[in-house]
Amino acid sequence: MLTDAQRERLDLVLVSPRNPLNIGAAARAMANFGFHHLAVVAAFDPTWREARSAIGALDQLNNAVESPTLAEAVAHSTLVVGTGTLTYRKPEQPVVALPDLAPLLAAEIQRGGRVALVFGSEKHGLTRDDLSYCHLLVEIPTDPAQPSMNLGQAVAVCLYEIAVRSQAAATVLAETAPADLATTAVSIPVPSDRIEILANVVEQAMQAAGYSPRAMEAANRHDLRLLLRRLALSHADTRRILGIFRRILWRLKRDPLSHDKLE
């Protein structure tokens, strides 16, 4: 099993859950494998903390963080992993089979990062917009005749895989990683809210330059979120690029016609 310190670096996020019993079942699965941090985004039923299915998991349920948006729920996460089936969607980010997920999480935790494991609602799963906040999409292997799983069961399966495989992966990483890895600029994880700040500034610069017409703003914002996460920028790179685009934006706002001079 993972150590207490390692399990403290994983958040389980439920987006728009509809049935309080499923939230309680997810909390119970967390307690089974020693995970503590639950976030619930825009729950359908406001009485979800009263779920009777959270047997032995009242701490997880009572201490759960309620967030209005997924962006807020994963703000401090440096690796956001969405869950779902590929039956009804075309993935726009790397897809990882569940048995292969643990080493990736172990590596992120070892370098000081924080992981968010995100589940969508029972009705439609994670939306395309939800997935734009995710670095990876993990797929639970299921029979094609019945690809979807109950929310509580899906949480239990994922946490079991993570709990039993991550410690072995972390041990291997500890034995092979350079001693000074934690001190290098490239190893410093970038939290999701920092990426969102960068995306917002880049989007403002695109709008000021006339690159992103109003009809395309939502699509460009979605693509920009995915692009910045695929780039896997270091903390130093993120800071540098943010400074560049803030300077460009300042220049464009100061002289609205200056973008014509760049053509």
DSSP output for the chain: ---HHHHTTEEEEEES---HHHHHHHHHHHHHTT--EEEEES-SSTTGGG-TT-TT-HHHHHTPEEESSHHHHTTT-SEEEEE--STT---SS-EEEGGGHHHHHHHHHHTT--EEEEE-BTTTBS-HHHHTT-SEEEE----TTS----HHHHHHHHHHHHHHHHHHHHHHHHHHS-TTGGGSGGGS---HHHHHHHHHHHHHHHHHTT-S-GGGHHHHHHHHHHHHHHTT--HHHHHHHHHHHHHHHHHHHH-TTHHHHT-
pLDDT at res. 187: 61
Residue appearing with tokens 């997935």: 131
**Confidence bin at 185 (pLDDT 50/70/90):** very low
- Amino acid letter, residue 213: P
**Confidence bin at 164 (pLDDT 50/70/90):** confident
pLDDT at res. 177: 54
**Better-predicted residue by pLDDT, 148 or 225:** 225
Average pLDDT value for residue range 217-239: 92
Tens of pLDDT along 10-53? Answer: 999 999 999 999 999 999 999 999 999 999 999 999 889 989 89
Tens of pLDDT along 112-158? Answer: 999 999 999 998 889 999 999 999 999 888 888 888 889 999 999 99
